[in-house]
Structure 1
């Protein structure tokens, strides 16, 4: 689950759709809500949005980096978790490989440690929901 940074979660998922389709899953609010969380995500640097994380509440985010169909990075839960989520897309065969890095967890705080553990186990399941959401939307 982790790479060389002990405060980051790393995982990836092959998705049998081209990068343009996976990019839509990451950046189209309606599609995003089908596989992860409702929120007004947009691929515009500086755009602020909120993700509805159900029992974990509303999480504020701000887009930090956009490279269309390649990279999307945003802050996640500033003021509480203070983490950064980075999505990186790479073509692979007739589909795409989606890489996730969720970084910046404060493992010295009880909240940071609990979130790191929970999200470390949860992210692979979240990524696995993208392909079915794209297939249902096409």
Structure 2
């Protein structure tokens, strides 16, 4: 059974996990494919992601396994969601999985964010792939 309020995507990235990890955790690279912000792979680290027209969204790193897992809260206090990235070596590249969970589908804002991000995440992953090319 599918979990309500969950976005899941998986994509093969033709680069090794170390390179994909850098795209997820290096603020300069991160700003090229998704949003500017002081993302760092340190549990407890708090940072803001500049989401343009949606404003700056607070985040806090919840879990880190270098080159394997990065999880952080996204917009606590408003959306109250969690983004989790999982990396698995596959041949010469990386199988990258995204889970964005916790959308409150009973609230208008939560439902709109779920629908918008559900449509937007595939393009974000394409930009990540392009930023590494």
Give yes or no for TM over 0.5. Answer: yes
Any unmatched runs of 5+ in structure 1? none
Q: Which residue of 1 aligns with 2:66?
A: 68
Question: Which of 51, 54, 69 matches 2:52?
Answer: 54
* Matched positions, count: 133
Question: Which of 69, 81, 89 matches 1:91?
Answer: 89
Q: Which residue of 2 aligns with 1:116?
A: 114
User: In structure 2, the residue corresponding to 1:33 is in which secondary structure?
Assistant: helix
Q: Which residue of 1 aligns with 2:76?
A: 78
Query: Deviation above 3 Å: which 4+ runs of structure 1?
Result: none
Q: Distance in 1 between matches of 2:2 and 2:91?
A: 27
Q: Distance in 2 between matches of 1:89 and 1:49?
A: 22
Q: Which residue of 2 aligns with 1:29?
A: 27
**TM-score (normalizing by structure 1):** 0.94
**TM-score (normalizing by structure 2):** 0.98
Any unmatched runs of 5+ in structure 2? none
